[in-house]
Amino acid sequence: MQNRNNSANKRVITFNNFYSIMKSFFFLLFGIILLCSCSDKYQAFRSNYQFKSPDGKPAYSQLDYWAAHPWKKDPSDSTPQPLRSEPKDSLVDVFYIHPTTYTEKRTGLNAVIDNDYINAKTDYSSMLFQASVFNQQCRVFSPRYRQAHISTFFMKDRQTADSALAIAYEDLKAAFEYYLKTWNRGRPIIIAGHSQGALMAEKILKDYFEGKQLMNKLVVAYAVGWPIQKDLFSSDEVCKDSLQTGCICGWRTFRNGYVPSYLKNENGNSYITNPLTWITTNEPADKTLNKGSVLTKFNKLYKQTTGAKISKGLLYVSRPRFPWSFLYFTKNYHVADINLFYVNIQEDIKRRIGFFWK
């Protein structure tokens, strides 16, 4: 009897040791993944951005001051490997405004326009993973600008913050006017932006399109990762389905049930689009409608990663399913607003361009 008890105890001890070893292994593996993901991959590209601005302002007649431009090869020209057989067309232009990439230690409220690290980061993050979604159907124009530092959006001193955002918009107005004068030549336009870029895209829409002749050239606008406020745009200006043109759509993505503290007082005061169905009502869209996500590996396409539903002005999704996604704990999917729905956005661009020409 004692021998049997000893044998049972040994088995329990062995199992416990195995469990502890496996637990330690997973924690070690998770730590390695985090370390690798945090490694600074942009340093290798800094030498590509050695141009200098004489007065600290962008000169949009020079291609160096465009993160994406059809007259040069840049990361926005890239296509994920599984999508490379798709046909391309470029009868429409997109003016894409990149999100905040000035997130490191602040040296001023606005980014230095010729900072080699920020420009490398912009090109090999936003241009590669976001602006590339347009390149099958559009010529891509994306200006560099003296973007506001990320801390600007959390400042209590709103006058100082607004001054920084005004500098950013001053550059973007100059870029858009130069684009119109030099390269547009009457072509249809898509206006798009993410995060800070979406805020600026909304300003461009209000100043250059709303109630003006240029509105006739607007295929669609995507203001993603920023609220489309109901007191700024009318419901008639928001896309109601996937067939409309000359309208605006956008969304902000979070895990089911999560509301960030800074949005708790918003109370649904913004328009929102479901990027799987392109409607603005709260009917849930199943993950089978998700045609493909492009996540951390640009040449990998993950299908049916998540469904989506609208609630109180926000877009909610389940935890996305992709390899090792069980280690992905965040509930704020802001960084993946576009990437989670990459193929669906591509198809929407193509579809709306088709309806624009009818």
Residue-by-residue DSSP string for 311-342: ETTEEEEPPP-STTGGG---SB-GGGTTGGGH
Q: Assign 322 a pLDDT band (cuts: 50, 70, 90).
A: confident
Comparing C-alpha atoms, which of 238, 236, 172 is closest to residue 199? Answer: 172
**Which residues are bridge partners to 190 per DSSP?**
94, 220
> CA 131, 83, 306, 238 torsion: positive or negative?
positive
Taking all residues of the chain, what is their mean pLDDT, rounded to a whole number?
Answer: 90
Burial class (CB in 10 A: 0-12, 13-18, 19+), 157: exposed
Comparing C-alpha atoms, which of 251, 236, 244 is closest to residue 219? Answer: 244
User: Do the beta carbons of residue 192 and residue 142 sit within 8 Å?
Assistant: no
Residues 6+ apart with CB under 8 A from 28: none
Q: pLDDT (tens digit, 9 = 90+) per residue, 50-99?
A: 999 999 999 999 999 999 999 999 999 999 999 999 888 899 999 999 99
In a domain, 349, yes or no: yes
pLDDT > 90? residue 323: no
Q: pLDDT (tens digit, 9 = 90+) per residue, 161-191?
A: 999 999 999 999 999 999 999 999 999 999 9
In a domain, 149, yes or no: yes
**Can you tell me whether residue 20 is helix, strand or coil?**
helix
In a domain, 17, yes or no: no
Residue-by-residue DSSP string for 32-71: HHHHHHHS-TTGGGGGG-----SSSS--TTSGGGEEE-TT
In a domain, 163, yes or no: yes
| Cα angle value 163/167/172 (rounded, 5°) | 140
pLDDT > 70? residue 29: no
In a domain, 12, yes or no: no
User: Do the beta carbons of residue 72 and residue 117 sit within 8 Å?
Assistant: no
In a domain, 102, yes or no: yes
Query: CA 172 to CA 163: how far, in whole Å?
Result: 15
In a domain, 14, yes or no: no
In a domain, 81, yes or no: yes
Q: pLDDT (tens digit, 9 = 90+) per residue, 242-275?
A: 999 999 999 999 999 999 988 988 888 899 999 9
Q: pLDDT (tens digit, 9 = 90+) per residue, 218-247?
A: 999 999 999 999 988 888 899 999 999 999
Number of domains in the chain: 1
User: Do the beta carbons of residue 290 and residue 305 sit within 8 Å?
Assistant: yes
DSSP state of 222: E
Which residue range forms the structural domain that includes residue 118? 48-357
Comparing C-alpha atoms, which of 158, 48, 83, 150 is closest to residue 344? Answer: 83
